[in-house]
Amino acid sequence: MKRVAKYFIGYDSENKPFTFVRGGVGCGLELDYLRAVCEVAELDCQFVPIKWSELFRALDAGEVHAIFSSISRTYKRSLSYNFTAPYFDSPEAIIYKGRLNSFSAARSMGVLSGSNHHAYAQSEFHTLKLFEFSDLNALAEGFQDESIDSLLVGVDVANLLINNFPALELKLHDELIVAPGYFGEGSCVVVNKLEGALLESLNFGMSKLGCLRL
């Protein structure tokens, strides 16, 4: 029997190709996957587009029951929220502009404000000037500014930017980043700690579907 409760689940509205809005309709690889998970788990879910910088605020305020969009479980986050099993993993990568001989010549880096990339960059790249952006669209647009030499993003997003901005002659740094302490073990749905039934049902649906495959 289908559950009668409706759950509101927030997602980043500007995280192409994983979650985004086109013509007023939610789209993306992760969003399609979560829709299928809810169907398998017989959950009545409404997906709510929210800017990345507002996702955790909306969850804390009770505006949504859960959030997702390439969000990983970290120890600090686990103190405040529940997490589903990981359903998708993407290594982290650095891209830099072709006018540089190598990433070592970079003097600045763009990151999503408040993200795990932001925390990692603050810890590991002390000599770089960091530029913070509220969402991926702003990050991509800002990267065209001459003052920003590099970006720290997921490898899938890195390849997307390389293909979309050929004039910048973007290069992928040779060393991909694997740092579970910062980036966790893969993308999860973040669930309010009071919503145990939702957490259980989402994990059930994911166990039936398996992980998201690109």
Give per-residue pLDDT as tens, 15-27: 888 899 999 999 9
**CATH 3.40.190.10, the chain: domain bounds:** 6-88+185-209, 92-181
pTM: 0.70
pLDDT at 104: 95
pLDDT band at 5 (very low <50, low <70, confident <90, very high): low
Residue with more model confidence, 183 or 207: 207
**In the CATH scheme, what is the homologous superfamily, with its name and number, of domain 6-88+185-209?**
Periplasmic binding protein-like II (3.40.190.10)
**In the CATH scheme, what is the homologous superfamily, with its name and number, of domain 92-181?**
Periplasmic binding protein-like II (3.40.190.10)
pLDDT at 18: 86
The predicted-structure confidence for 160-197, as pLDDT tens digits, reads as follows 889 888 988 999 998 888 787 788 778 899 999 999 99
Least Cα distance to 15 among 177, 161, 125 occurs for 161
Secondary structure, 3-state, 49-109: EECHHHHHHHHHCCCCCEEEEEEECCHHHHCCCEECCCCECCCEEEEECCCCCCHHHCCEE
pLDDT at 16: 80
